[in-house]
Amino acid sequence: MKRQILSIGTALLVLLLAASCTTVPVSQRENRVEALIEELNTAPVDRLMELSARPFLLDGEIIILETDLAMMWTNLRDVGFTFRSATLEDLGPVTPTTYLSFADTMDVRTWFEKYAAEDAGLARIATSHGTFLIITGDRTRRLPQIFGFTGPEEG
């Protein structure tokens, strides 16, 4: 009898763990965010555009136009910017005060309220350029989209 109860308990624990894994949004899964960062480091600009939500938040600036966003990615590529040697330090959901890490303005606060994905995640990554915050959400195929980033913070 004890063995049967233990087996049922073990089975329930496995089911509970499996269920909890499926409830974590793609935008807040370490392996998916790490894969997104790899794409951000290596993909051509047209792929970066597929992975980028609009309007896009860069520091405290909101990029609305597709052409402006493409120019941003092109310019970053042209100067050799990547999230090189990235280490995911922290990953969790966006909170009502996350906007303060980008800019304490009504525009940025409104952007978070209106445009951040329902499943938005906030990744803190350390790179060779410093520490960045990346907003993730929704998904394109199996990767989260990037909704914006800020940084580098001195790390």
Residues 26-47 pLDDT 10s: 888 999 999 999 999 999 999 9
Contact predicate 63/48, CB 8 Å: no
118 closest CA partner among 22, 19, 26, 20: 26
pLDDT of residue 27: 83
Enter the tokens of residue 62. Answer: 């909101």
Q: How far apart are CA 118 and CA 94, in angstroms?
A: 9
pLDDT of residue 20: 47
Give the domain ranges of the chain: 25-153
Q: For 129, phi and psi rounded to 5 degrees?
A: -95, -10
* CATH architecture group of domain 25-153: Roll (3.10)
Write out the chain's pLDDT in tens, 155 residues.
Answer: 555 554 565 555 444 554 445 587 788 899 999 999 999 999 999 999 999 999 999 999 999 999 999 999 999 999 999 998 999 999 999 999 999 999 999 999 999 999 999 999 999 999 988 999 999 998 888 899 999 999 887 64
Q: How far apart are CA 117 and CA 113, in angstroms?
A: 9
